[in-house]
Amino acid sequence: MFEPWGVFVILIICPLLGGLPLISWITYALKRKQLSQVGTGNISVSAAFYHGGKIVGILAVLSEAFKGVAAVLLTRIFFPDGSFWELVALIALVIGRYWIGRGAGTTNVVWGFVVHDPLVAIFVSFFAGISFTILQSRKVVKFGVLLLFPLFVALLHLSDIPRIFAAVALAGLMGWIYTKIPDDLKLPAQEAQTESQAMLEFLRGDVYDGLRQRAMVSLDEELNAAIVGEKAATLSQIKRWGYPVPKGWVLAPIDDPELLTEFLQPSELSPLVVRSSAIGEDSEYASAAGQYETVVNVTSPEALQSAIAQVQASYNHPYAVQYRRDRGLNDTAMAVLIQQQVQSVYSGVAFSRDPITQQGDAIIIEALPGSPTQVVSGKVTPEQYRAFVVETENSYSVQLEGQGRVPQSLIKQVAYLAYRLEKRYHGTPQDIEWSYDGQTLWVLQSRPITTLLPIWTRKIAAEVIPGVIHPLTWSINRPLTCGVWGEFFTIVLGDRTLGLDFTKTATLHYSRAYFNASLLGDIFIRMGLPPESLEFLTRGAKLSKPSLQSTWENLPGLGKLLKRELSLEKDFKQDYHKRFIPGLSQLAQEDIDNLEAPQLLARIDFILELLRHGTYYSILAPLSAALRQAIFRVKDGQIDHSVTPEVAALRSLSAIATDAKQVLVEFEPQQVFEQLKQTPEGEKILQEFNELLQDYGYLSEVGTDISVPTWRENPQMIKQMFVQLMQGNEPQAGAKDAINSIFASKRKRSFVQRRVDIKGRVTEVYSRLLAELRWSFVALEKIWLKSGLLRQTGDIFFLNFDEVRRLIGDEDSSLIEQLDKLVEFRRSQFLQDSEIIQIPVLVYGNTPPHPLAPSELYSDQILQGIGASHGQAEGRVKVLRNLQDIPDIDRDTILVVPYTDSGWAPLLLKAGGLIAEAGGRLSHGAIVAREYGIPAVMDVRGATWLLQDGQRVRIDGSRGIVELSNDLRPE
C-alpha cells in the first residue's frame, strides 16, 4: 500500500532534494560569494573548495552526502533494503541536481551508493584509488568508475535484472552529465583559495587528459578558453572544423616548460614559433593585438625555453598592463602557444569586413611574399585587395579589386576562407592571419574585429519600427520592446541570462532603429537555437533544426514558454475584456483639450501601463502565428487577415468606393465629395466614409511611430485613395480568387487562423493605445505652445519622455533654459538623417560612419530580394519614399517603397507589383499584395536609390528577383 507513495517520493521529492542549493547557501553565508556568478557557474563541491576554501568545501561535501544518503533512506521507508528503487531514487536525485542545482551529483551518488551497496562501493573505491595513484589521470578514473560499478553490480547481483539496468542507467546519466558540465578542477589552481590549492593540485591529476606531466595539450583537442586563452582555443576549434592549422601545443600557466622542451626538440629543419595566448586575448572585448611577444625561428631546446620565458614575461610589460587597465580587464594569466613554423611563400591578414568603412560586404586583404610578421608589424606596406564573395546553393564566385605580386587565385582563396570563417562565427567579423607555403593555405589566427562589435541589424527593425524616428517615440518604444524580449528570454534561459543586458537589444543609428544582432545571436546560442532563429520568426527565413541536446537542456524554459503560448488566447481575451476595453473606453470619454499638463501626464502614464501589457501580446501573438504556420505548413494564401485593421479598412474603403461609383456615374476627381453632397444617396456614402474614418482614424502611415499624424488628424490621404478607387476598375481575377480562397479558409478555422485573428485584434488594441498616446502628447504640446515653452508644432517629439516628465514637474530649470537649443539641435540632426537615402542593413560598432553609396551590383540586370507574393509583372517604376504626394497608379505601375505599413496598404490595390527595401513574407505589404494577387519582392537593398521613375522592370514574386529590361531610360 505504500508503494505509490514511494514512487511519488522518488519522482517528485528526490529531484527537488537534488536541486536544493545547499552549497550555494553555505558559500554565500560564509564567503559572500555567488557560485553561479563566478568560475564555471557550477554549484558543486569542487567549486565550493575552489572559491570558498577548505571549510566551505567540507561543509559542501557533508551537505551533498546528506542528500545521497537521504534519498536512499527515504526509499527504504517504502521499499525493501537494496531494492533497485534506491538506484532510481539516485537517478532522480542526480536529474534534479543537474537541471535545478547546476551540479553533476557525484558526491550524492558516491555516498548514496555506499549506503545502498557497501560491498560494491568498497570494490570500486579500491580499484579507483589504485588507478588514480598509478595513472594520475582523473578523467580515466572518473569514466572508468562508471564502467566498473555497473559491472560489479552485475557480478554480485546477477539475478536482480532491474537493479543491473538501474545501475547501467545511473552510470550512463553520470557519464552524459560529465560531458556537458564544465569542470571546476580545470580552473587555474593558483587562483583558488590558498588552503585549497594543494588538494586541488592533487585532484586535478590529468587536467589535460593525462598529458600535463608528460607533454603539452595539443591543438587537436577541444580546449577551454578560460584555461588556455581564446587564441589557442579558437585555433583548436578551427582545426577540428577541418581547416589547415599548423600543429601546435599549449603550455598552461601552471605547466612546467622543462618537459615540453624535451618533448618537442626544435631544430633548424623543424623550427617553432612561440606565441602568447593570454586569458582574455583575442576575445570580443579586447584583441590585445601586438601587446604580447611572439618569437619565431626557435631552433633548439634552449631557445625554446628562453622563448617561452620571454613570452610569459611580456604579460607584465608596462604597456600590456596599461592596455588591460584601459579596457577594464582583470589580470589573469598567460598561456603559451607553440606551433610548427610555416615556411611562408606568401602571407598576410584578412578582414572579413572593412574595419574602416564599417559597412558593405567587402573583404579586405593585405598580403606580401614571405613571413606574416612583416604584414602585422606595420613596418612594411603590404599589397591591398578588396574582394566580394557571392555564394549560391552549389557554387561561389569571388570578385577581386587590386593587383600585385601575390597570385590572384590565392587572394580569392583567402577571401573565401575569411567569408566562411565569419559565417562559422555567426556573422561576427573576423581578423584572420594566414600563410601559404606553396601547397597549403594555413590559418594562423582568427579573432573578432572588436571595433566592429556589436553588430546592429536593420532587417527586423525596418519592419517593426520603420522610417526615421523621433526621440520621444524611441524613448517610449525602446523600453517597452526590450523589456518584453528580456522577459521571454529569461523564461527560457533562467540563470543563463546572467551577463546579458536586455536594455541593449536596440538602438538608433541615423535616427533609424537597429536590433543588436550580436546580443540576439548570443541569446540564441545559449538557448541552443540557430542564430537565424529571430529571422525565421519575423521574416520567414529558413531555419535549421536545433540539436536534440539543446532542446533537452532548455526543456524546462521552453515548457514555460509553451504554456504561455497555449494560454495566449485565453489570457488575451481576459485582458481584452477586463483591461483593454475598459481602459480604451475611459480614454475615449475624456476631453483631453480641457486637461491640464499634470492631468495629461497621468493620462499618459495610464496609457503606458496598458501598453506594457499590450506589448507582451504584440510580440507573442506574431511569433505564435509564425511558429504555428511553419509547424502546420499552412500556406500564406490560406490565411485570412481580415481582422488586421489596415486590411479591414482597405476592404471597407473599396466597398464604399464601389457604391459611390453607382451614385456618381460621371464625376470630377477634384469635386467628388462636393458632388456626393448634392443627393441623398451621396450623403449616405459620405456618412459611411466618415464612419470608416471614425472607426479607423487611429491608424497612421507608421503604426508604431506616435510622431506620425493619424488618419483622423490628416484624412486627405484617405480621401485621395477613395477617389482613385472610384476611378479604377474592378480588382483583377487573381485578387477575387485570393479573396474567395481566404473566405473559404475562414470557414475552416485552424490553430494557425486563431493565432492570426488574435494578432489582428492585438494590432487593433495596440494601435488604438498608441493613437491615444499621440493625441495626449499633442494636447500637451498645445499647452506649451500657448505658454511659449515650445516654439512650433512638432517640437514635443524632439524631447524624450523623461524630459517631458521633468518639464511638467518644473523640476529642471537648466533644461528649460536649454530647451530651444536642444530641440533645434535634434531637429537639425533628424532632418539631416532623413536625407540619407541608402541606409545600411548592417551596422558594425557603436559609432558607424556616414553611409556610403551602394557598391556596384554583382549583376547590373538583376536585383535579389525575398519573394513575398507569387506571380510576375512588368511595368514602369514609381519610387515613393513617403506618402506626402500620392501619384496616379495603374496596373502598369511597379511601386518601389522603403517599407510597407498600414498607410501604404491602400496604394497596392491598383498597382501592378511591389518592390520594398525592407520586409518579408509576413510584412504588411506582402499580406495585402497576396490578397489582391499582386506580385511582390521584399528586402531589395537600395531599391529606392537604384531604381528611377519610369524605368521598366520585370518582377518575379516567386523567386524574389527584379529584372531590369533593356529600356532603362526614365520616361
Which pLDDT tens digit goes with each residue over 191-221? 555 555 555 554 454 433 443 443 458 898 8
pLDDT at 197: 53
Assign residue 394 a region: left if phi > 0, alpha if psi is -120 to 50, beta otherwise? alpha
Cell numbers representing residue 503 in the block: 536594455
Assign residue 620 a region: left if phi > 0, alpha if psi is -120 to 50, beta otherwise? alpha
DSSP label at residue 274: E
Report the C-alpha gap between 218 and 243 in whole angstroms.
16
Please identify which residue in the block is written with the cell numbers 496604394.
907
Report the C-alpha gap between 959 and 755 in whole angstroms.
28
pLDDT at 637: 72
pLDDT at 52: 82
Report the C-alpha gap between 617 and 627 in whole angstroms.
15
Report the C-alpha gap between 299 and 301 in whole angstroms.
7
Q: What is the Cα 804 distance to its own chain's centre?
A: 32
pLDDT at 575: 97
pLDDT at 448: 87
The DSSP bridge partners found for residue 390 are: 397
pLDDT at 884: 61
* pTM for this predicted structure: 0.66
Q: Is the peptide bond before 731 cis (omega within 30 degrees of 0)?
A: no
pLDDT at 833: 93
Report the C-alpha gap between 839 and 942 in whole angstroms.
8
Assign residue 880 a region: left if phi > 0, alpha if psi is -120 to 50, beta otherwise? beta
Which among 803, 771, 805, 810 is positioned nearest to 787, based on CA atoms? 810
Sites in the chain below the pLDDT cut of 70? 1-2, 39, 128-143, 183-216, 280-290, 323, 326-330, 356, 372-381, 393, 460, 463, 528-554, 729-749, 852-860, 883-886, 901-906, 920-925, 927-928, 931, 966-971
Neighbours of 847 (CB within 10 A): 9
CB 498 within 8 A of CB 475: no
CB 680 within 8 A of CB 686: no
**Buried-exposed string 680-708: b where 16+ CB fall within 10 A, e elsewhere:** eebeebeebbeebbeebbbbbbbbbbbbb
Cell numbers representing residue 276 in the block: 602568447
Please identify which residue in the block is written with the cell numbers 532632418.
831
Report the C-alpha gap between 593 and 248 in whole angstroms.
76
pLDDT at 614: 95
Q: Is 410 exposed, middle or buried (0-12, 13-18, 19+ CB in 10 A)?
A: middle
Report the C-alpha gap between 214 and 258 in whole angstroms.
10
> Could you read off the pLDDT of 863-892 as tens digits, one per residue?
888 887 888 899 999 998 776 666 778 889
